[in-house]
Chains A and B, each alone.
Chain A
């Protein structure tokens, strides 16, 4: 596999760096404080390719904490709220679009 750092980076709008947490697989986002959060609203937002590359490089260096880091699109609402930029990211952030098959 190409390492995330060798990938061509193309961003078309506000983006975040996301990954899965190593010990439990949970979806996480890179913060400006060089840490991870499970809350998209706390994610560091990047808008330029160089910025994105730097955030990704710094995130990917944390091999112990996170796996599969990549850049994902987000949308910023008028009120400044960060929303997932596509369906895949929406599902990662908000969960399944179906109910869990567990009886009440």
Chain B
């Protein structure tokens, strides 16, 4: 966990009073909506179809039990008893009243949570690997750097009015769980040939209307230079980014139009002027942040405890363990993923009751810590293996032990037309129907790893471009239609998927997905060849044929 210092607490509290005053002035008519809109957006308050939506940051996806309980409290007291975990380590509340927002913010501030820069044209919540600090083989805990970036970018005057939103993601593992290649800046911690730790810096990734995979701008930037290098990138962007056209305003367009070499040259020039200035990080500062992350005192435990051997006789437990329990850097411990993708449920939603129960279980079994991942699931990062059977029973009781992690029903979906004012089509009921079709766990297991991502419009909040199967809602003559892509992926081999053909109707989507999956099962070279590898080997043609032959 990370402990905020006095400065952060003061900042968050001052922000609450400021917003309370802004809301008061809005409601008294002193501020018009035009004047107020910018202010509310800087505090994560959007307007959706039915109500205001409130987006709260969960920096680098780490929550304490106390914080999760407070999120549950906000859901219960000011909303309709649930929240939606998003692909960017935020939680959204969908029904909040403007008049309640200052109180909700104040309640969150009590536990060090805020909504600053969760919307607007600024640097957004810095996301990271949900297994940060516990993944085996990790170079070091990437959250130290996420936190440094968070401190540096929060209310940074130069970056509060960028041409467009700006998103960072960081990983320190070989396998990228943070989707760094589809972020404005992606950072990968690694060691260079000299054995020094630093960052590969990627720039210009992004989804939305014009998807791009991030390009490496510099293969190695030392930790001391991280902030100055990032500042140089942001300055070049701030200067040249297209403010005249919202669709061309993201850094990805600038990088694309200038070309990465030219862009890199501009950044280098800028950087050389500032690298030895105030932003150079000395070790003491890095150590100070590092020391504010506390880690559990792990016990020396057997890696295969009796409790686990005994529980292995229960096939339901085994199915869950094999699917949702992952190796931890410390023997005797495990990382447990909690599925927020129950069959027939809206992906990524958790009720206040579930949040409270998970907070309790985290206290009992995971040193009071919870993680949020970009796949819209939660994780308990430090579970003693001997506790797994007990934990499983408790998770199963509250409906978060569906053994479908990374399988076909572990769908990423945006809120879509049920909530979102920008949507063309619904996302959630499409996801629900697909999970019903693949409810049988044996079948899902047989299919193996398969990521389906759904967005209700071209903004791509549901990452459809990088789903193994991507589903994008479009509108044709007032009717919902869906474009299907296959072959995308969001990890270290990130690539944008390919459209398989004309859009299909709402009622056909689940059938089409079944067809694609059946085609894959028939086409795969062997049971170990994943869907994504079959598509890579054969291209989209055989899938296109299968889907459209009868339509």
Q: Residues of A at under 8 Å CB distance from B?
A: 20, 22-27, 63-64, 67-68, 86-88, 91-92, 95-98, 100-103
Contacts and interface: CB of A to CB of B under 8 A. Distances in A.
Given A26-B50, A63-B33, A91 B345 contact: no
Contacts of B423: 88
Nearest to A27: B50
Given A101-B82, A101-B346, A22 B33 contact: yes
Contacts of B80: 100, 102
Contacts of A63: 29, 32-33
Nearest to A24: B97
The 5 closest A-B pairs by CB, nearest first: A25-B51, A24-B97, A25-B52, A101-B349, A102-B81
A67 to B, nearest CB: 5
16 contacts: A22-B26, A23-B99, A24-B98, A25-B50, A25-B52, A26-B50, A26-B51, A27-B49, A63-B29, A68-B47, A86-B478, A88-B417, A96-B418, A97-B426, A98-B432, A100-B81
A84 B141 CA distance: 52
Would you call the interface of chain B mostly helix, strand, loop, or mixed?
A: mixed
B425 to A, nearest CB: 8
Contacts of B50: 25-27, 91-92, 95-96
Contacts, number: 77
Nearest to A95: B50
A103 B26 contact: no
Q: DSSP majority for the A interface?
A: loop
Contact of A22 (B98, B346, B349): B98
Interface string B460-500: 00000000000000000010100000000000000000000
Contacts of A96: 50, 418-419
B105 to A, nearest CB: 16
Contacts of A27: 49-50
A97 B97 CA distance: 22
Give the most central of A25, A27, A64: most B CB within 10 Å. A25
B47 A25 contact: yes
A67 B480 CA distance: 27
A20 B52 CA distance: 9
Interface string B257-292: 000000000000000000000000000000000000
B49 A88 contact: yes
Of the candidates B27, B50, B350, the one having the most CB atoms from chain A within 10 angstroms of its own CB is: B50
Given A98-B432, A101-B350, 18 more contacts: A22-B26, A22-B27, A23-B97, A23-B98, A23-B99, A24-B99, A25-B48, A25-B96, A25-B97, A64-B27, A64-B29, A87-B480, A88-B49, A88-B417, A88-B423, A91-B418, A98-B346, A101-B351
Please classify how large the interface on chain B is, using the bins under 10, 10 to 19, 20 to 34, 35 or more: 35 or more
A25 B410 CA distance: 32
A64 B80 CA distance: 25
B510 to A, nearest CB: 15
B432 to A, nearest CB: 7
B428 interface: yes
B533 interface: no
Interface string B331-356: 00000000000000110011101000
A100 B82 contact: yes
A97 B49 contact: no
Contacts of B208: none
A20 B351 CA distance: 26
B47 A87 contact: no
A83 to B, nearest CB: 14
B501 interface: no
Residue from A23, A64, A67, A98 whose CB has the most chain B CB atoms within 10 Å: A98
Nearest to B26: A22
Contacts of B48: 25
Given A24-B51, A102-B80, A97 B98 contact: no
B429 interface: yes
B40 to A, nearest CB: 10
A6 to B, nearest CB: 13
Contact of A25 (B98, B346, B353, B428): B98
A57 B245 CA distance: 28
Interface string B398-418: 000000000000000000011
A27 B51 CA distance: 7
Nearest to B352: A102
A78 B472 CA distance: 36
Interface string B28-53: 01001100000000000001111110
A87 B506 CA distance: 12
Nearest to B398: A103
A23 B417 CA distance: 23
B148 to A, nearest CB: 36
Contacts of B29: 63-64
Contacts of B27: 22-23, 64
B34 to A, nearest CB: 8
A101 B47 contact: no
A95 B29 CA distance: 29
A102 B432 CA distance: 16
Contact of B33 (A23, A67, A95, A98): A67
Contacts of B418: 91, 96-98
A98 to B, nearest CB: 5
Given A98-B346, A102-B82, A20 B51 contact: yes
Contacts of B49: 27, 88, 91-92
Contacts of A92: 49-50
A20 B47 CA distance: 8
A103 B351 contact: yes
Contacts of B82: 100-102
A12 B453 CA distance: 36
A103 B351 CA distance: 8
A63 B351 CA distance: 34
Interface in B512-527: none
Contacts of A100: 80-82
